[in-house]
Structures are given as C-alpha cells and as structure tokens.
Amino acid sequence: MPPRRIIIDTDPGQDDAVAILLALASPEEIEVLGITAVAGNVPLPLTARNARVVCELAGRRDIPVLAGCERPLGRALVTAEHVHGRTGLDGPVLPEPTMPLQDAHAVDFIVETLRAEAPGTVTLCPLGPLTNIATAFRQAPDIVDRVAGIVLMGGAYFEVGNITPAAEFNIYVDPEAADIVLRSGAPLTVMPLDVTHKALVTRPRNEAFRAIGTPVGRAVAEMTDFFERFDKAKYGSEGAPLHDPCVTAYLIRPELFSGRFVNVEVETVSELTMGMTVADWWGVTDRAPNATFMGGLDAPGFFALLTERLARL
C-alpha cells in the first residue's frame, strides 16, 4: 500500500506535537503534504511557530507549514493556555524555529492541494478547531468530493465535555465550522474524548518515552509531564490524555480503534450546550449516519506503536 497522503491542520498544543511527530516518524504509512496552522489552543502566531518547532525537532524542515485563520468563523477566539501553557508547547526547552512559514494562506493551500491531486487521494487530519477546513469548503465547495476522508479529533458523547460541561474544546471554539464539516458529506472519522481519554500517559508510559534517550523522546516526555498537571487535577486521572495522536495512530493501525458509523450533529444555538456533539450512538433517530465515531482503544497497542515510532526520529 502506498502511504496515505495527508494535510495536518493543527493548533499545537503538546498533544498535536506528538501527533505530528508520529506522522513524520511513519513514512511507510503517511506522507505529510503540509501542516496548516489554525488558532486554537493559543493564538495563530504561536500555533504557526509551534508547528515549525515540531518539524525542526523531527529534522523535517522540508515540510510546508502555512498559517491559516486567526479566529473562528463567527465568534471570538477561546484559547487554552490553562492546559497547554503560555506558548502552547510549554514543558521542554526547544529552540526558536528558523524554517520559514510558506507565503500562501493555509486555506488556499488546502484548496489548491485538493484540486491538484487526484480525487480521493488526500486525507485531511484536523487536530484543532475546524475553521481552516470549513473556510476551504465554503470557498471551494468542489473540493469536498475530492477529499479521501477526514480523520479529526473533536467532540464527545459519553464523556460529554472538557472546556464546558457539554462541549469538547476543538468543537466549542468554532461550532459553526464543525457544523459545516459534519454536514459536508466527506467521509468522516471522529476521535472524541470517549476514545482519547483512554490514551492516558501513565508514569511507565512517560518513562518509556524518556528512555528512548533521543531529543524527541525527551521532548515528548517533558511535554506530557507538563500537560498532565491539568488532567490530573481535573479528572484525577493517571496522566495526560494524548488526544490528537489518536488521529495519526488511526492512519497507521486502524485496528487499535473501534467505533460506530452514526449520525453526529453539533449544537450551534444554545448557550448552555454550545458546541456539544450529539452522536446517535444507539440509533434512536432516523438521521442519516455521517461519521464513524470512535469509542474503544487498545491503549497498550497505541502506546507500543507510539514509543516504537518516536524512537525512529
């Protein structure tokens, strides 16, 4: 099988960083065509910087990195420095990137790449708010049918919410964008909190990253050390959930995940439940299924894959 050709749309974020590193460590399965930054965990100048920090950490200055939308479609940006720190990538001390940002806008890169490549050959991998993807779909509706699939981190059903009692961060930040993507008709695979909260970096898993003994292994251990404060305090969990690496791990080993093809819609009106994803897990409506919504994870297999691949960088 040739590698899946992907665009990673991201707001790094320590877990975004690990997702990107996993993709870059897996050239047999994944070819990264570009990384598009979006405002989310921190404002756009920082996410565009952090994406380049991560490429340089992986020794991949050749990956095109582009800055995209600096605010959600119809509302003010909500950020998550309380989770990710002031830079969005707090934890390890990493050098300022020297590789340039590409001149083009991320949305134009998404549109042009999908138009240039053969239909059904490019997969979109959003790891942050869906603003860039929705803007591309609005600007160029012809590209929707050309997308091979969208594998995204966002939403929740049984786990409900993390940024509000009802909503997961990526969807909450730009619910209108999420609505456009969920209704687009593109083949969707969704990694909600239901599955990502099972990808917990326990102490032995963190030590396994550190024991790789490389700059990448140490940086990932230090990122997850930093990131775990929040979830330990909030959920009393054993460590940090690696939300976004579920997306890239799925491209490599889909059998680690299980879910259902169901209808998923997003709340865009009620202030109380704004950004809530409503998944018809039990099939109690006649709404047409539009997404494979994951729920189960082989966590030991996931961490074995991650540790083995990160050691290659």
What residues act catalytically? 243
15 binds ligand BDR (CB under 6 A): yes
Q: Does 224 bind ligand BDR (CB under 6 A)?
A: no
Ranges assigned E (strand) in the chain: 4-10, 30-37, 65-67, 122-126, 147-153, 188-191, 200-201, 240-241, 257-262, 264-266, 277-279, 291-297
Select from 30, 127, 133, 180 the one that contacts ligand BDR (CB under 6 A): 127
CB of 104 to ligand BDR, least distance (A): 24
Rounded to an integer, what distance in angstroms lies between the CA atom of residue 196 and that of residue 182? 19
The answer to whether 190 and 244 are in contact (CB under 8 A) is: no
For residue 166, the number of C-alpha atoms closer than 13 Å in the C-beta half-sphere is 14
- Asked if 243 is part of the footprint of ligand BDR (rule: CB under 6 A), the reply reads yes
Within 10 Å of residue 204's Cβ, how many Cβ atoms?
Answer: 11
Write down the least CB distance from residue 2 to Ca ion, Å. Answer: 27
Q: Which is nearer to ligand BDR, 206 or 277 (CB)?
A: 277
Select from 67, 127, 163, 201 the one that contacts Ca ion (CB under 5 A). Answer: 127
Residue 16 contacts Ca ion per CB under 5 A: yes
Terminal Cα distance for the chain, rounded: 22
The maximal CA–CA distance of the chain, rounded, in angstroms, is 53
Q: Which is nearer to ligand BDR, 13 or 97 (CB)?
A: 13
Helices (H) and strands (E) in the chain, counts: 12, 12
Q: Given the rule CB under 6 A, which of 12-20, 99-107, 217-225, 300-308 is the region that contacts ligand BDR?
A: 12-20
Choice from 159, 228, 244, 280 touching ligand BDR (CB under 6 A)? 244
Confirm or reject binding of residue 194 to ligand BDR (CB under 6 A).
Answer: no
- Sign of CA pseudo-dihedral 277, 279, 285, 291: positive
9 binds ligand BDR (CB under 6 A): no
The nearest distance, CB 170 to ligand BDR, in angstroms, is 5
Distance CA 126, CA 132 (A): 9
DSSP 110: H
Q: Is 88 an interacting residue with respect to Ca ion (CB under 5 A)?
A: no
Which member of 63, 69, 80, 94 binds ligand BDR (CB under 6 A)? 80
Among residues 175, 196, 194, 208, the alpha carbon closest in space to that of 248 is found at 196
Please classify residue 27 by burial: count the beta carbons closer than 10 Å to its beta carbon, then call 0-12 exposed, 13-18 middle and 19+ buried. Answer: exposed
172 binds ligand BDR, rule: CB under 6 A? no
Q: Can you say whether residue 94 is alpha, beta or left, with left for phi > 0 and alpha for psi between -120 and 50 degrees?
A: beta
Distance CA 132, CA 140 (A): 12
Residues near ligand BDR (CB under 6 A), total: 15
Decide: is 133 part of the binding site for ligand BDR (CB under 6 A).
no
Check residue 159 for interaction with ligand BDR (CB under 6 A). no
Taking the least distance from each CB to ligand BDR, the nearer of 88 and 108 is 88
Site for Ca ion in 241-300 (CB under 5 A): 244
Nearer to Ca ion, 32 or 127 (CB): 127
Provide the binding-site residues for ligand BDR, judged by CB under 6 A. 13, 15-16, 41, 80, 83, 127-128, 153, 162, 168-170, 243-244
Provide the binding-site residues for Ca ion, judged by CB under 5 A. 11, 13, 16, 127-128, 244
